[in-house]
């Protein structure tokens, strides 16, 4: 084509054929300035410089994400591993509630396991009346359960004091019913109530407890540390709403527990008979009080111990008596001292037999009275001067004959025998308030004491001391320490026996044998015939002692202590007993105390299956037979 050819020709970038669509450049590309071509190598930079800011943000995000993940993992490790126990405890606390366990006081049982005293769980109902918005409605629910009228409860629920005690000693069953009602503002506090299963039976022996539950008197006080339950806590499952959750035993139990019980030597049925017989005689003889004790001769176990007073003193009436007779405020057999009267003649006769001053057949010339240092002494009944054997002197309870024997013994020997038989010292029972008695020693000796002491006028003793001394006659001269508790009982019911204390010899077997035959005559022909027990032989001694006037060297006119103490069967004694009446009418121990002894001993011998004595009278003496009964008064 010639240079003059003016046709337009396609560019070398255009191909022949259909035109290809032109690629559109981004707008910014069109504005990009043209860079001249250079052969120098360009500095390498980001392939796409416009993406740099976005890439940086991604890296930061990733780093933050890793940090967060590490923090979460760390926290999980802390929760699951390091602090797991803490959070488990917090979670558990939401379902656990800790309640106080006061521990029940140990029970008191008789020798056969019968319950004499026990504690039962109770509830005290307390209201926080600030939380109570419907007092009438709550009062209607509370009333039948706590035994208080609605009209009484409503004002108490409106007091707004924050603490109102609505009821105490509510039974556990009623407490459970009340708890199920979930009354707002009502709280149940654990407690216990001491219950005497047989009412007031043996009340002065068992004693009482304070409102706090601690022992206040008697065995309850003596054994308080053993009987007391120890407070502790229990952990139970409960929902936050207060609903008990299913569980077995308590989750935890810390400290505390029920107290240890005691098993007594007391025989419940015999105690009842003893109190009944004594109470009837107190009523019949118009005595002011009385005491009676029955003991196992060989072991010293006290099988019954009754202490009663006339009238209704609010401490518990003895059922079946013709006029009111109540339990005494204390254990008189151990706490009350009195001049013993003729039962104290055992001191003189045991010493005289031991020293060979007399034998059972030694004869004395006995007038009915004598004067010593200006004081007149006489027998209970006027009689001519008689020749009496030592056995007859004690059977008839001659004061003058006893004085003659004592004069042959002398002051020092008498005083020594008083101590030897246990007078002036406690019995070893360690009973609260027990008296050791009051003795006149050598420094208080007066010339008249050579007669007044042997007949029981100078010294003051307890009924238990007299019984202990006579009991030695039945054991061949060995004095056995009495006891009221023979076992402890653990909370699981296991009994642990307590060994009896060893005996102490106070006179020989020969003296014991001689005293046995002599004291049998007291019951067979002397002042104690009313103590006879049909089918059994009995040995014993009566006593009728004047009562000293407090603070004066004189006696109360017409006031006497009447006593009988004895053992059966006479030749092989199994049981010993004493009965003492204060100010009875008639006054004689042989008339009022001896019959009570007979009634109690008869029951006891049959209860324990003691064989009858061959040749013993099968019927009690007949007062209508015309024979007179000798009496004794000191």
Interval 207-239: pLDDT, tens:
999 988 899 999 999 999 999 987 666 666 665
Helix (H) and strand (E) counts in the chain: 19, 22
Q: Can you tell me whether residue 244 is helix, strand or coil?
A: strand
* Nearest CA-CA partner of 396 in 310, 455, 324: 455
The pLDDT assigned to 236 comes to 61
The pLDDT assigned to 490 comes to 95
User: Tokens 């003889």 sit at which residue?
Assistant: 285
The pLDDT assigned to 477 comes to 98
The pLDDT assigned to 234 comes to 65
User: Tokens 């008197």 sit at which residue?
Assistant: 217
> Average pLDDT for residues 260-271, to the nearest whole number?
98
The pLDDT assigned to 249 comes to 53
How far is it, in rounded angstroms, from Cα 591 to Cα 593? 6
* Nearest CA-CA partner of 504 in 417, 422, 418: 422
Kind of pairing between the strands at 186-196 and 115-127: antiparallel
The pLDDT assigned to 246 comes to 56
The pLDDT assigned to 348 comes to 98
Q: By the 8 A CB rule, do 296 and 303 touch?
A: yes
The pLDDT assigned to 412 comes to 96
Segment of 42-46, 247-251, 368-372 carrying the highest mean pLDDT: 368-372
The pLDDT assigned to 551 comes to 84
Lowest mean pLDDT of 1-15, 175-189, 215-229, name the range.
1-15
The pLDDT assigned to 621 comes to 64
How far is it, in rounded angstroms, from Cα 342 to Cα 470? 13
Backbone angles phi, psi at 269, to 5 degrees: -65, -40
The domain locations on the chain are 271-625
Q: By the 8 A CB rule, do 340 and 565 touch?
A: no
**Between 404 and 85, residue with greater pLDDT:** 404
> Average pLDDT for residues 560-585, to the nearest whole number?
98
Kind of pairing between the strands at 261-264 and 485-489: antiparallel
User: Tokens 């004592």 sit at which residue?
Assistant: 406
pLDDT of residue 242 exceeding 60 = no
The pLDDT assigned to 183 comes to 82
Q: By the 8 A CB rule, do 310 and 327 touch?
A: no
Output b/e per residue, 272-297; b: 16+ Cβ within 10 A.
bbbbbbbbbbbbbbebebbbbbbbbb
The pLDDT assigned to 6 comes to 43
**Between 612 and 28, residue with greater pLDDT:** 612
Q: By the 8 A CB rule, do 245 and 237 touch?
A: yes
> Average pLDDT for residues 26-53, to the nearest whole number?
50
Lowest mean pLDDT of 9-23, 128-142, 247-261, 602-616, name the range.
9-23
> Average pLDDT for residues 429-435, to the nearest whole number?
97
pLDDT of residue 299 exceeding 70 = yes
**Between 178 and 477, residue with greater pLDDT:** 477
Lowest mean pLDDT of 29-43, 334-348, 510-524, 551-565, name the range.
29-43
> Average pLDDT for residues 240-266, to the nearest whole number?
71
> Average pLDDT for residues 72-78, to the nearest whole number?
84
Give the domain 271-625 fold.
Answer: Beta-lactamase (3.40.710)
Percent of the chain at pLDDT exceeding 90: 60
pLDDT of residue 34 exceeding 70 = no
The pLDDT assigned to 304 comes to 98
* Nearest CA-CA partner of 610 in 303, 272, 305: 303
* Nearest CA-CA partner of 327 in 345, 314, 343, 341: 314
> Average pLDDT for residues 312-337, to the nearest whole number?
95
* 457-484 residue pLDDT tens: 999 999 999 999 999 999 999 999 999 9
Confidence of residue 174 (pLDDT cuts 50, 70, 90): confident
pLDDT of residue 532 exceeding 50 = yes
* Nearest CA-CA partner of 196 in 109, 272, 275: 109
pLDDT of residue 318 exceeding 70 = yes
Percent of the chain at pLDDT exceeding 70: 84
Residue 581, class by beta-carbon neighbours within 10 Å (0-12 exposed, 13-18 middle, 19+ buried)?
buried
Q: By the 8 A CB rule, do 541 and 395 touch?
A: no
How far is it, in rounded angstroms, from Cα 65 to Cα 377? 120
Residue 257: CB atoms within 10 A of its CB come to 14
Cis peptide before 399 (omega within 30 of 0): no
* Nearest CA-CA partner of 534 in 624, 613, 589: 613
Lowest mean pLDDT of 164-168, 185-189, 236-240, 244-248, name the range.
244-248
How far is it, in rounded angstroms, from Cα 30 to Cα 589? 148
pLDDT of residue 599 exceeding 80 = yes
* Average pLDDT score over the chain: 86
The pLDDT assigned to 97 comes to 63
Lowest mean pLDDT of 66-75, 115-124, 232-241, 547-556, name the range.
232-241
Q: By the 8 A CB rule, do 597 and 529 touch?
A: no
The pLDDT assigned to 5 comes to 46
The pLDDT assigned to 8 comes to 42
The pLDDT assigned to 30 comes to 45
The pLDDT assigned to 633 comes to 82
pLDDT of residue 2 exceeding 50 = no
* Nearest CA-CA partner of 588 in 528, 534, 548, 532: 528
């Amino acid at each position: 084509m010639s240079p003059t050819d003016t046709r337009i020709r396609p560019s070398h970038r255009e191909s022949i054929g259909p035109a290809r669509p032109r690629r559109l450049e981004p707008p910014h590309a069109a504005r990009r300035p043209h860079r001249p071509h250079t052969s120098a190598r360009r500095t390498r930079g980001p392939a796409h410089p416009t993406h740099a800011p976005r890439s940086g943000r991604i890296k930061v995000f990733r780093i933050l994400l890793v940090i967060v993940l590490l923090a979460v993992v760390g926290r999980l490790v802390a929760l699951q591993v390091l602090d797991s126990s803490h959070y488990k405890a917090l979670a558990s606390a939401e379902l656990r509630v800790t309640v106080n366990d006061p521990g029940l006081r140990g029970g008191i049982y008789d020798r056969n396991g019968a319950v004499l005293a026990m504690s039962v769980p109770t509830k005290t109902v307390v209201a926080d009346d600030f939380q109570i918005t419907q007092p009438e409605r709550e009062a209607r629910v509370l009333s039948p359960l706590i035994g208080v009228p609605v009209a009484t409860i409503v004002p108490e629920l409106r007091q707004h004091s924050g603490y109102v005690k609505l009821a105490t000693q509510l039974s556990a069953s009623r407490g459970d019913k009340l708890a199920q009602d979930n009354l707002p503002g009502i709280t149940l506090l654990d407690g216990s109530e001491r219950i005497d299963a047989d009412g007031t039976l043996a009340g002065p022996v068992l004693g009482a407890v304070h409102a706090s539950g601690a022992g206040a008197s008697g065995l309850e006080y003596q054994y308080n540390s053993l009987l007391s339950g120890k407070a502790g806590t229990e952990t139970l499952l409960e929902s936050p709403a207060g609903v008990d959750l299913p569980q077995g035993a308590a989750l935890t139990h810390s400290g505390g527990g029920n107290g240890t019980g005691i098993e007594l030597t007391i025989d419940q049925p015999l105690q009842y008979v003893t109190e009944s017989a004594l109470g009837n005689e107190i009523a019949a003889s118009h005595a002011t009080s009385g005491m009676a004790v029955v003991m196992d001769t060989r072991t010293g176990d006290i099988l019954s111990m009754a202490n009663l007073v006339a009238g209704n003193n609010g401490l518990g009436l003895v059922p079946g008596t013709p006029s009111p007779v109540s339990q005494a405020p204390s254990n008189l057999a151990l706490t009350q001292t009195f001049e013993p009267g003729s039962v104290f003649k055992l001191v003189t006769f045991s010493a005289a037999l031991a020293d060979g001053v007399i034998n059972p057949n030694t004869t004395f010339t006995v007038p009915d009275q004598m004067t010593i240092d200006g004081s007149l002494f006489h027998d209970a009944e006027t009689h001519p001067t008689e020749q009496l054997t030592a056995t007859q002197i004690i059977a008839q309870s001659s004061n003058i004959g006893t004085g003659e024997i004592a004069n042959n013994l002398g002051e020092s020997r008498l005083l020594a025998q008083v101590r030897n038989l246990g007078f002036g010292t406690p019995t070893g029972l360690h009973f609260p308030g027990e008296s050791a008695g009051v003795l006149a020693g050598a420094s208080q000796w007066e010339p008249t004491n050579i007669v007044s002491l042997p007949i029981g006028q100078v010294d003051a003793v307890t009924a238990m001391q007299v019984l202990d001394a006579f009991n030695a006659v039945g054991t061949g001269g060995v004095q056995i320490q009495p006891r009221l508790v023979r076992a402890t009982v653990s909370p699981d019911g296991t009994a642990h026996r307590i060994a009896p204390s060893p005996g102490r010899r106070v006179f020989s077997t020969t003296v014991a044998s001689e005293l046995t035959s002599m004291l049998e005559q007291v019951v067979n022909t002397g002042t104690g015939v009313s103590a006879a027990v049909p089918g059994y032989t009995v040995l014993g001694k009566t006593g009728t002692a004047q009562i000293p006037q407090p603070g004066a060297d004189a006696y109360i006119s017409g006031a006497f202590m009447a006593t009988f103490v004895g053992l059966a069967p006479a030749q092989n004694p199994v049981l010993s007993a004493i009965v003492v009446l204060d100010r009875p009418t008639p006054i004689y121990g042989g008339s009022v105390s001896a019959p009570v002894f007979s009634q109690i001993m008869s029951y006891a011998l049959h209860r324990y299956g003691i064989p009858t004595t061959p040749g013993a009278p099968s019927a009690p003496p007949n007062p209508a037979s015309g024979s007179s009964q000798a009496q004794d008064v000191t």
